[in-house]
A and B are shown apart, each in its own frame.
Chain A
Amino acid sequence: MVALGILCSAGHADESATLARTDFFEKRIRPFLANDCYECHGARKQKGGLRLDSRDALLKGGDSGVVLVPGDAARSVLIQSIRHEHSELRMPKDRPKLSESAIASFVEWVNAGAPDPRDHPPADTTAAGADWQSVFQSRLEWWSFQPLTDPAPPPVKDIGWSTHPVDRFIQAKLEDKGIRPASPASPEMWLRRVHFAITGLPPIPEELRAFLQDTSQAGRERVLDGLLNSPHYGERWARHWMDLVRYAETYGHEQDYSIPHAWQYRDYLIRAFNADVPYDQFVREHVAGDLLEQPRRHPTAGFNESIIGTGWWYMHQATHGPVDPYQDEADRIDNQIDVFSKTFLGLTVACARCHDHKFDPISARDYYSLSAYLRGSRQNIAYLDPDGTLESRSRAVAQEHARESETLRAALARARDSGAPRIAAYLAGAGEVMYGPVRSSDVAASRRPDLVFDDFETGTYARWNVEGTAFGTEPASGKHPNQQVVEGFQGRRLANSYTHGDALKGALRSSPFRITHAYIRFLLGGGTPAKKARIALRVEGREARDASGRNRELLEFKVWDVREFVGKDATLEIIDDDDTTWGHINVDDIVFTDAPVTGRPPYTRPVAAVAAERGLSEALLESWVTELTSIDAQQASHPLHSWLNALEKENAVASPQPGSTVAKATEPVAASRKDTSGGPLDTMGYEAFATSDFKTWFPSGQAFSLEQSSVGGWRVDGGGIEFIAPGVAHSGVFAAALQGTLRSPTFTLTHSNIHLRLAGRSGQVRLIISRYGLREFNPLLFEKTLFDVNTSGRFAWHSITSGLHRHIGRPAYFELIDNGGGYISLDRILLSAHATPPAEEPGIDSPPGASSREQAQRMDTAVHHALDGWLRPGAKPGALEFTSWLSMKGLLDWGASGQEVTNLIGRMTRSAEGLPQPMRVLAMTDGSPEPTRVLLRGDPRTPGMSVPRGVPRAVSRATTPSLGGEGSGRLELAAALLSESNPLAYRVIVNRVWAHLFGRGLVATVDDFGTMGATPTHPELLDHLARTFRAEGGSIKKLIRSLCLTRTFAMSSVSADPAAQARDPDNSLLHRMRLRRLEGEIIRDSLIAVAGQLNRTQFGPSVPTHFTPFMGDRMWVRNPSGPMDGERRRTIYLETRRNFLSPWMLTFDLPLPDSTVGRRNQSNVPGQALALMNDPLVQQQAAVWAANNLKRTGLTGRERIEDLFFRALSRPPRSPELDQMLVFLANQAAARGLSPEVARLNPELWADACHVVFMMKEFTHVP
């Protein structure tokens, strides 16, 4: 650095001197002014009327006069105040005093005349403004951003104290201060310490005795190895990590909805700690476990472990009803950034959401660049292979499918040669069955009259057993008080469970009946979020059908096809087991019928006769007739509807009269068809969502095979074949059992209507807008963005026509979901201003008014062409869909190949049998990169400049952030975290381990290594640990083992040196071990373990929360209470519900799961004592413990007391303690009125003794 004074004394302002002066100001003065002064004395605030951000303002001074006397540092108030020599002013206010070297620079500068290049006061600067660069540079000088050093253990005077390098660092500081370290703790105490530190369970007496046989170094190593290899180690250390990532299993807020599969992440942690996964791998899995080329696999089950590591991102709070979803999204991302940066970097990056960080080298720009990684990512419920067979089996199914393709093609060619599939012939036959003139030889019509099971008009529930209160004592006459208007029921009465609102529960169960008709038809309304209000058909005791209302009070027509159950005994149940909003059901007019549409005439001729006369297969003709007389065929969208209409007209029979409610249900569809049907395909005003071949989409799971969308695709569905047109995404090609989700690229919502052309069974589509993910729980927001896809085997348009206008301009993506047992298939997506989809391109060209005969002929031709086209590329998609539909409905005549196709279908069906269900886990997955903007003041309504994706510069040290590329870029983020140039990652983790073992970190603020955090007590030791840890492969177990073997760890918690209190009052130098209160989990686990009751079962779904009267009993406690003793599992396996955290755990400082908490409070409140005195669990475990103690016969009272102390405190009672216990027993026996003989083995008396031991402070504190 050029000495400024010399230059100035030269007395001339040549160019180089000016430059040097400017350089001095820029490097030595401006950073401090900007960092430490501008906040109060800048553009926004002028405390004391003083402004320091321009030369003129600085020279002008403040309310109390001039602060700077150029050339005279001593007389300058500025210098006096930063030296803390001024009578009143100590600057910078509320911040650390400037370093001596900084103060020296200021003095030098003022004495040199305070040369200052700042001509103009700057405007109010926003993110990463003009001064940021210099502020950033000065802030980077903070200790934690310096590269890791490699300090050798310092020399010490007493070389006999320890040879452990870690001890040398500790010892050297103590020797510096002249403090004598504490004596070693007893071996029992050491053993107790390592047990609680490593497994969180007290040693059992056998372990204690074994150790006392050999307390040498080797003996201690043996103990440590045993503990570190115990399965309980992972349970203890996973919990530490769960505090960092605010682990929770519900989202909190009003409804406390469950976070799906959250517990899998907990199990992942336990396994990862037990497997001692290297820390770099562990971090990589947390940040980008879904993206690893070589994921870590479970050693026996074989599933992908790495991906589960990403689940923590989504353990934020979430609400179903944010009024502003964009604010809500910004808040969720903020929480992710907050947890991420504190956990892995020990930095409070989230402070930079609204403005550049006040203290640390993190700009708002850094914050938003970091958020871009999250904006390129999405929540996924990943499909994992549970046992290593799912993936290989699904590959085998795919291979078989490829082989069978050839068989199918050959079979089809032969069928065509034999004249199949004879569409026109079957239609003509069906027409005759339905309308042909009756012949004398015909057996009478095959349809019986309808049977009304109950229309509730009698005003009683005579046919039903009434349970509960929800349905009242008799059928309702319309709506109940407070209910919306109920419409669409027939007559005057209906069954309506809204009695007194949604809260009541109840059921109507019918007396048994025999199923005589092909269909059960009824009217249904109401709604239920969890499908707990429903009508169900129980056949021979097994539930065969069920249905729920669609959140409306308009009763709608519903038909169950029960042909397969004809002749069997059944009951009907109308159940309201739902007390939430929209938790009720309305039912009316239950009718048994052979023709689901009211008013349809019976067949005129028997199927068998017609089939025989016409040389058709009777079974196939029966299928045709059934389809044509089904309720589906009454829908305008039905492929045979137009033919049927023509036929009906030709036979001069009035159109069937569907029930009025049917008309209501189908009217809108019909109307929309009317507008467009017959016209040419009009795509004007529709914007096609680029699907092309789905190569840019993101599949997850096994179901979607994107390679299949080429010519000649096919699949087996039920008894038929679906011929798949090119350009279609399909989840059912190989097997309906396979599951998966296919996600679209992110797009900007530009229109208020979306039309999707879909087919499927049990499929689901979600439109995710602004990453809002709670739609599945509650329809309040985004009602229309989630829907089921059940299209009876044919493609149909589904339109989202309301609710989207509010979200125009927002990023969105689609999810096609197939969670097994069906499929979903997507042809096209159109975005449009029109609320109706374009006219369907007709699969069959029929002129308007064509006769049924002509239509049949055209269908026949179209199917032939389609099959030709499928064999040789060029099938017309509409005709192919029609053909597939026929096949899947079992209406396609395969002629000579019939048996062969049946066999093939059988083989394909069998090949998919027994496929395992995937294991579902909460995970992150890549999406499309999204443009990210700085939000001014953190407000989503005021977006500022665009920023590229990037790692905060203080971490990456890159001058320009990376420009990103495909996907989220999280691998790059993980690499930056772990790179050599980032010293934080390793300093932070070794400090965390240190803090868990020694009760306080070398840096006390374990989550904040920034300027507002504490500085390290032993910086060299911290770097030594970080370096060693990194060099040795990031083994947490090794680190723990090494630290537990130090003499420091083995010291007593009682000071050996009277001088220590003065020289190291808060024990920051570790002149003795720190006494600590155990965590709430460990106290609970210890109670149960000591009592001999611990259920050591590992893993699996959590034990449900035990609700107590002190947790509130709000209406939305849906879940039944779990057991009081938590099945005696370790606490880590008990459910963590945000709204119902265990009072026990809260009393003992469980951190609220909202942000990273690396260091728990160790509060001391009377509630803790009350819990140990009166909590039912303590009382219960004391009784169990006493009973176990008494099981051992032949012991004296003293021996029993000794055993209690051994088990609970890992030591024998001291002599006065033995006396005190004996006196207590005597007094208590007397108080209980027990004779000496009875008292000796009295369980209650001994439970009292056990309880006393549980209450001892030593039970809950480890010295």
Chain B
Amino acid sequence: MFPEFRPTLRAMTRRRMLREGALGFGAVALSALLADKSHGASSAQRPPARGGPHHAPKARNVIFLYMDGGVSQVDSFDPKPRLRREDGKPFGLKMEPTQFEDNGAVLRNLWEFKPYGRSGLPVSDLFPFIGSCADDLCVIRSMVSNFSEHNAANYFLHCGTGMSGRPSMGAWATYGLGSENRDLPGYLVLDGGLIPSGGVDCFASGFLPANYQASLLRNQWPALANVEPKETHPRWQQNKLAALRLLDAGTLEELGRPDALEAAIRNSELACRMQMAVPEATDITGESEATRRLYGFEAPFEHTRSYARQCLVARRLVERGVRFIELTCPRAHGNARWDAHGDLRNNHSLNARAIDQPIAALLIDLKTRGLLDETLVLWSGEFGRTPFAQGRDGRDHNPFGFSLWLAGGGVRGGMTYGATDDYGYKAVENAVHVHDLHATMLHLLGLDHERLTYRFGGRDHRLTDVHGHVVKAVLA
């Protein structure tokens, strides 16, 4: 022992020795000390800021499979025979301005469509695995966005406005409902390798408090910033934290137990637990061989394997009550995302190859475990692509009519909703605006998009601004 510390030790009572000298005992004492008060303002522990759902929710969680760059609807979920007939001919409709203004002729769908399942839902050959889940899919073919540029469209899809600075839908969902896991944040983004253009602002809490912003989990260890203790031995950190608990408890008493300090202490405790919970949630070593095979861990394409891991982790997070999980895309085609301004065939083939099997596996796995009913899975890009070519073999951005699908969480499976024109260019029937998507998503979570508001800068803000209608036809 440290000679000069001995007198102090001797001076301590046996009881204090017991309490403070033993590792971890102080923590127990402090927890007990705090247990009688239910303050606390951490995302994980505190009830939702605005008091829970407005009506009985259909979905408890959301998994958002973000298709970065925009998938071609006419090559995936919106078959248009006319394209084949007019392949190479001049486009028959007025063209809106496009990003590159290098508009070519009609470009036929490069993948064939087949009916799948009992519903006979047509899905292209890009997605044979997802096709096998057709009876669970609710394909909306009449999506409309306001922006044909990535960043604005991304901010719009994620946050309901074309600029950064607003809360993301995940932030709104967590703000509205809180989290169901006391050891994990309520809003997580699984970074598959490509952060959307527009940056992490897409996952921001905007003017909502910082505890509603997404935590970004990487697809490797450590998954979360600062979640990994730097101390060589766990005990070294445990010793520090034990001392810290005692010191903070003293400060708390000294300062009249102010709420803010008490909440900060609670968050320290949560932080400690997250050091365990995040690795636990993202550690898939305990998953069965069958599960791993299902997701595609043995697939020859490395990006299939990497996305498989993301999808599996997403399921584990749903099991653990994380409210909103977004998966970003892997680098299946370099940095190009789905943004096939040229070389469409190669681009979409590689991207589809990476995600098809893992996503189908996620749907099957969730269903098998009885989780799909309460988990809304959303698959969407920020816009679609033009049915006419950009240059010779690409497609430009198209926000006027594109496809996405929903599954589980209170939506009807095996259906399509809305329609685009004969070319698959613009929504012409039952157009669903991005605001409507948000309203519908919140509705499924038990939230009324008009009542989920936050006062900032002089007015009440909503995810849907002053727009949005729940698309009732897709509700189960």
Contacts and interface: CB of A to CB of B under 8 A. Distances in A.
Q: Does A associate with B in a complex?
A: yes
Interface-centre pick from B43, B100, B255 (highest chain A CB count, 10 A):
B255
Given A1112-B200, A1224-B240, A1146 B210 contact: yes
A1197 B164 contact: no
A1159 to B, nearest CB: 10
B466 to A, nearest CB: 9
A254 B150 contact: yes
Interface residues of A, number: 105
B99 interface: yes
A1126 interface: no
Interface stretch (A316-324, A386-394, A608-616, A870-878): A316-324
Contacts of B233: 1231
B164 A1152 contact: yes
Given A254-B198, A1257-B248, A1257-B264, A1012 B459 contact: yes
A1055 B243 contact: no
A693 interface: no
A1227 B230 CA distance: 18
A1228 B1 contact: no
A348 B458 contact: yes
A1013 B455 CA distance: 10
B327 interface: no
A808 interface: no
A1223 B1 CA distance: 10
A1176 B206 CA distance: 27
A1221 B152 contact: no
B471 interface: no
B242 A1166 contact: no
Contacts of A1225: 2, 5
Contacts of B181: none
A1163 B209 contact: yes
A519 B426 CA distance: 58
Interface in B138-196: 147-152, 162-165, 185, 191, 194-195
Contacts of B240: 1224, 1228, 1248, 1251-1252, 1255
Contact of B210 (A252, A1075, A1147): A1147
B335 A1115 contact: yes
Most buried by A among B11, B44, B99, B261: B261
Contacts of A1173: 226, 229, 237, 241, 271-272, 275
B210 A1257 contact: no
Contact of A1239 (B2, B148, B227, B343): B2
A395 B348 CA distance: 64
B342 A1077 contact: no
B236 A1223 contact: no
A332 to B, nearest CB: 10
A364 B18 CA distance: 71
Given A252-B201, A1221-B243, A1170 B227 contact: yes
Contact of B264 (A319, A1077, A1110, A1155): A1077
Nearest to B4: A1197
B197 to A, nearest CB: 5
B421 interface: no
Contact of A1170 (B147, B149, B191, B274): B274
Interface string A232-254: 00000000000000000000111
A1219 interface: yes
Contacts of B263: 1164
Contact of A254 (B151, B226, B230): B151
Contacts of A1138: 164, 199, 201
Given A321-B149, A1170-B274, A1227 B23 contact: yes
Interface stretch (A271-279, A306-314, A672-680, A1002-1010): A1002-1010
A962 B106 CA distance: 55
B47 to A, nearest CB: 15
A856 B264 CA distance: 90
Interface stretch (B72-80, B213-221, B291-299): B213-221
Interface in A426-477: none
B20 A1223 contact: yes
B458 A1169 contact: no
B interface, size bucket: 35 or more
A1143 interface: yes
Interface in B243-273: 243-244, 246-248, 250-252, 254-256, 258, 260-261, 263-265, 267-268, 270-272
Nearest to A321: B149
B355 interface: no
B34 interface: no
Contacts of B94: none
Contact of A1174 (B98, B227, B343, B455): B227
Nearest to B235: A1231
A1139 B199 contact: yes
A178 interface: no
A330 B242 CA distance: 56
B455 to A, nearest CB: 7
Contact of A1258 (B209, B213, B215, B251): B251
A1007 B458 contact: yes
A878 B227 CA distance: 74
Interface residue SS majority, chain B: mixed
A1149 interface: yes
A351 interface: yes
A254 B226 CA distance: 27
B458 A1012 contact: yes
A873 to B, nearest CB: 50
A331 interface: yes
Given A1227-B23, A1240-B2, A1164 B458 contact: no
Contacts of B225: 1108-1110, 1143, 1167, 1170-1171
A1220 B199 contact: no
B12 interface: yes
Contact of A1224 (B224, B242, B335): B242
B30 interface: no
A692 interface: no
Given A1112-B195, A1174-B227, A1165 B457 contact: no
A1075 B99 contact: no
Contacts of B42: 1164-1166
Contacts of B242: 1224, 1227
B349 interface: no
B165 A1154 contact: yes
Contact of A503 (B23, B260, B274, B334): B334
Contacts of B229: 1173-1174
A1155 B44 contact: no
Nearest to A1198: B4
Nearest to A1261: B261
B430 interface: no
B8 interface: yes
B204 interface: yes
A563 interface: no
A1179 interface: yes
A1139 B247 CA distance: 38
Given A348-B459, A1228-B240, A1248-B236, A482 B260 contact: no
16 contacts: A254-B198, A1054-B256, A1112-B195, A1114-B194, A1115-B335, A1147-B210, A1152-B206, A1163-B209, A1168-B267, A1170-B225, A1196-B4, A1217-B250, A1226-B1, A1231-B235, A1231-B236, A1257-B264
Given A1152-B201, A1173-B226, 8 more contacts: A348-B459, A503-B334, A1012-B459, A1169-B264, A1236-B2, A1248-B239, A1255-B244, A1257-B265
Interface of B: 1-5, 8-9, 11-12, 20-21, 23, 41-44, 97-100, 147-152, 162-165, 185, 191, 194-195, 197-201, 204, 206-207, 209-211, 213, 215-216, 218, 224-230, 233, 235-237, 239-244, 246-248, 250-252, 254-256, 258, 260-261, 263-265, 267-268, 270-272, 274-275, 334-335, 342-343, 455, 457-459
Shortest Cβ-Cβ A-B pairs, 7 listed: A1154-B165, A1112-B195, A1169-B271, A1224-B243, A348-B458, A1054-B256, A1139-B199
